[in-house]
Chain A
């Protein structure tokens, strides 16, 4: 190393800083969101933007967060690892971040919608819920009958 005064920790920090330099992709994404929001209002068309499909560093995330901000809804799913579904301060624009069971990022999306689909209860799950509730009720009434 030419500059021996720089410690290893500094170097790691520096490399981290370099990797997090904004790529300049935040603003085009925000413009896309703006357009999608217009379409949502006009025709109800929803849109999903995959942040994993373009170079999007921590620096870009920061810009995105600064402009979109935090909104009113903040939901955590527990479905094969956590997922964070947050409405931003711009109503109609949602952040959906999926993590796996080890806590590693699986996918990052911006959804422009009135409510992200993943928050809704799925018909299949409702069906299973229906069965489960019946089972539990059966168990309880059965036990009551036995007891009574």
Chain B
């Protein structure tokens, strides 16, 4: 596929007016969480950006991320974005399989060496490469080989970004994230289980138009992972008022009270779930009545239980507490006994002294 400006042609082919293009750019700018004043720059970038080749690698994953992105909400937008890239390899979506599929990947790599974009979903087993392999090639080898000629890598989903579910304690496959293995390429992490489809496409759109977006210290685009869900939550006013649901079906939960006590991880989770929302902007987990699980954060599976309040201790405190009570009482009683005994002994050993003995001692010394 020749690398040439993509959208003007596409627009013409679809009989789309310039006005539609401007509307598309305005919506895209909003989607990318850029300030509206950037819309003309988005338009310019789209008019001049070449169409990149994309290789999508799926490793230890559940295909949920692919499911999500292919069902992303506003088809006219995402269709255009997918028209704007050339998806040359995706073993779940492509018609070819086995050796033919691998040939497609190798051909795309050869043709676009140094320029193609690699999207990864799923983590990579490091204990034993044989745990996960495609066409006889281990995930580790395929990632290393494909990443070598990539312009950038997008880790889609928490598994690719941080190890995710496969890495959860006790991590039987020794699963690792893309960033644990590849150190010399720019990596954009788009975590989530799955990520919000619109966020995935917006990150791709950003890459197409402006290149690598601003990333936070965990490799996430700041546009979508700068604020906690808690800060943008519509239930936040109830947190501030001190109104909390005690159960998933009590009056408070129905009245929209805060789900903190039911284990919501919103305060420590960064994502735009509360504003961009899911399923065509219908709702998001907290709106559906369930606390946030924190799926955009590393190790979210092992962070102290989904239904435990964030402020509650995460460890083995109950047994520790019981042991402390027994030990404390025993030690206290023991200490007191020793002190009493000491007192009694002191009393028993007490020698009476009179003035004569003192005088005598003084003279002797």
Contact = CB atoms under 8 A, between A and B. Distances in A.
Interface of A: 1-3, 11, 14-15, 18-19, 21, 23-24, 48-50, 52-55, 57, 77, 79-81, 83, 96, 98, 100-102, 104-107, 109, 117-118, 121-125
A53 B251 CA distance: 31
Where chain B touches its partner, the secondary structure class is: helix
A123 B22 CA distance: 12
Contact of B27 (A77, A101, A106, A121): A106
B23 A98 contact: yes
Interface string B17-45: 11110111011011101011101000000
B114 interface: no
Contact of B23 (A3, A52, A80, A124): A80
B234 A57 contact: yes
Given A55-B275, A125-B19, A98 B74 contact: no
A100 B274 contact: no
Given A14-B254, A100-B77, A117-B22, A55 B232 contact: yes
A49 B36 contact: yes
B303 to A, nearest CB: 25
Interface residues of B, number: 41
19 contacts: A19-B283, A21-B234, A48-B36, A50-B30, A50-B35, A52-B30, A53-B30, A55-B233, A77-B19, A77-B23, A79-B20, A80-B23, A80-B76, A100-B74, A102-B76, A109-B36, A118-B19, A122-B18, A125-B19
Contact of A19 (B33, B37, B234): B234
Nearest to A120: B19
Of all A-B residue pairs in the complex, the 6 with the closest CB atoms, nearest first, are A48-B36, A18-B256, A122-B18, A79-B20, A106-B27, A107-B30
Nearest to A6: B254
Nearest to B232: A55
Given A50-B35, A98-B27, A79 B76 contact: no
| Max chain B Cβ within 10 angstroms of own Cβ: one of A50, A77, A98 | A50
A104 B275 CA distance: 16
A83 B17 CA distance: 14
B107 interface: no
Given A2-B249, A100-B76, A109 B26 contact: yes
Contacts of A19: 234, 256, 283, 287
Nearest to A102: B75
Contacts of B234: 18-19, 21, 23, 55, 57
Contacts of A125: 17-19
B264 to A, nearest CB: 16
B23 A122 contact: no
